[in-house]
Amino acid sequence: MTDILFLAASPRDMNRVDLGREVQAIKTSLEGAHYGRSLSLEQEWAVEAGELQKYLLKHGPRIVHFSGHGTGAGEIILEDQSGAGKPLSQPALRGLFAILKDNISCVVLNACFSAHQAEAIVGEIDCVIGMSGEIKDSAAISFAAALYQGLAYGRSVKTAFDLARNHLALQGLPDQDLPVLICRPGVDPAKVFLPPKKNESPHPLVRNEASLLENAQNAGPSGSMARLEPRGSRLEIFISYSHADKEWLRRLHAYLKPLAEADGISIWDDTEILPSSVWRNEIEQAIRRATVAVLLVTQEFLASEEIRKYEFEPLLQAAESSGLPLLWIAVSPCTYKQTPLSKYQAANEPENPLASLGAAARKGQLVGISEKIIAAVRSRRPNSS
C-alpha cells in the first residue's frame, strides 16, 4: 500500500506548470518531518484518463494527489495518447472513486477550479481538497509542501489544511482563500490522521471508533487524545553504479526486486531522480535513508570522479560512522585492491567477477548475491533477532 500517490499531467498544448518543483517540495517536507521518512510517495507522470484505474490498482494509495490543470467548468485535465489535454468529467471521476475507494481516504486536487470536482467526489471519499479559483503555480507548490509537512508531523487533515492556508498568508501570497476542504457527511477532518498506529485498521487513514476509544483510554490526565505512533523505519537499499554499467543494474534489479518487494524493502538508484531535481541533494538524502548500500564495481565505477565524490566517499563515511553495511559486487576485473574496498568483503568472488562467468553461472551468482543483500537488510530491521 502506498501512502501518497502523486499523479501529474501537464499537456503539451497548455501552459506548462512546474510539477517537478511541486513533487520535490512534497518530498522535502516529508523527509524533514517527524513521521515523514516512514511514509511512501509514489509518482506517475503524463497521466492519461485510461491509466487512472491501473495506477489506483497498482499503488493502492491512501492519499491521491493530482497536480496539473483544471477548467472553469470544474474538470481536471489529463493527457491523451498524443500528450494533448483531455478533460475528465466529474461523473467519470466520481464513478472511478466509487469503485476503487477501499484504501483512499483523502484526495487532493491541486489544480485551478477543482473545487467543483471535489464536490462531485466527496460522496465517495472522506476528505477532498480542491481550489475554488485559478491558483498560481507558486501558491499551489507552497500549499502542497505545507499540507504534507503538517500531515507528516502527525497533525490531522484539518490542522494540516489550515496550516497550509496560513503558510500562503505568511508569505503574502494572494491565493490563500482558494483552497477548500470538503468532507463526507459524518466525517470530522480533525480526527483524520496520516501516520498510522501499529496494527492499523483496514481503513488506515481514518481512525475508527475502536481506535478512537483506545486512544481515549491512553489519554493523559487532561483527557487529550493520544498521538498515533509512527510506523517502523522504512528499509531501503541504495545502489551505486556507473552509467556505463546500466545493463548490470538492470540484471541485478531483475533478481533483487521480487525479493525486496516480498519483504517490504525499497530499492533506490539514481534513475529515481526526476528532471528538475537537484541530483546531488537527492543522492545525499538517499544515502542518509539507506539501510544497506550495494556497489556495482567495475573499472568505470572506480574511475568516475562524480561517483567517488558524491557516492563512494559518503558511503565509506557512513560505514565508518554509523555501521552502514557495504556490499560490493565484483562485476568485471578492476583495480579494487588499490582502493578502500579491499578491506570489505565482496558479495561474490572478485577473482571470478560476473562478467567472466557463463550465462548459467552468472544467473546463479545473481541469485546468491540478491539473497545476501536481503539478508543484510533483514539484519538491520528494528527488533530483528
Kindly report, residue by residue over 20-32, the tens digit of the pLDDT.
Answer: 999 999 999 998 8
- Same domain, yes or no: 253 and 312: yes
pLDDT band at 275 (very low <50, low <70, confident <90, very high): low
- DSSP assignments along 229-282, one per residue: PPPPPPPEEEEE--GGGHHHHHHHHHHHHHHHHHTT-EEE-GGGPPTTS-HHHH
In this prediction, residue 225 carries a pLDDT of 33
Question: 182, 217, 252: which is the final residue of a domain?
Answer: 217
Average pLDDT (114-122) is 95
Beta-strand pair 179-183/127-131: antiparallel
Higher pLDDT, 230 or 248: 248
pTM (whole model) above 0.85:
no
CATH number, position 39: 3.40.50.1460
Residue 352 lies in a domain: yes
Instruction: Examine the pLDDT at 215 and tell me if it is beyond 60.
Output: no
> Which residue shows C-alpha cell 538524502?
285
Distance between CA atoms of residues 369 and 129, nearest Å: 46
Task: List residues bridging with 49 in a β-sheet.
Answer: none
In this prediction, residue 273 carries a pLDDT of 83
Instruction: Examine the pLDDT at 47 and tell me if it is beyond 80.
Output: yes
Question: 217, 249, 266: which is the final residue of a domain?
Answer: 217
**Number of structural domains, the chain?**
2
Query: 343: which 3 cell numbers?
Result: 578491506
Lowest mean pLDDT among 113-127, 163-177, 193-207, 292-306: 193-207
In this prediction, residue 36 carries a pLDDT of 81
Question: Average pLDDT of the chain?
Answer: 87
- Same domain, yes or no: 174 and 273: no
- Same domain, yes or no: 241 and 188: no
- Same domain, yes or no: 240 and 341: yes
Answer yes or no: are the C-beta atoms of 182 and 63 closer than 8 Å: no
pLDDT band at 198 (very low <50, low <70, confident <90, very high): very low
Backbone angles phi, psi at 254, to 5 degrees: -60, -35
CATH number, position 305: 3.40.50.10140
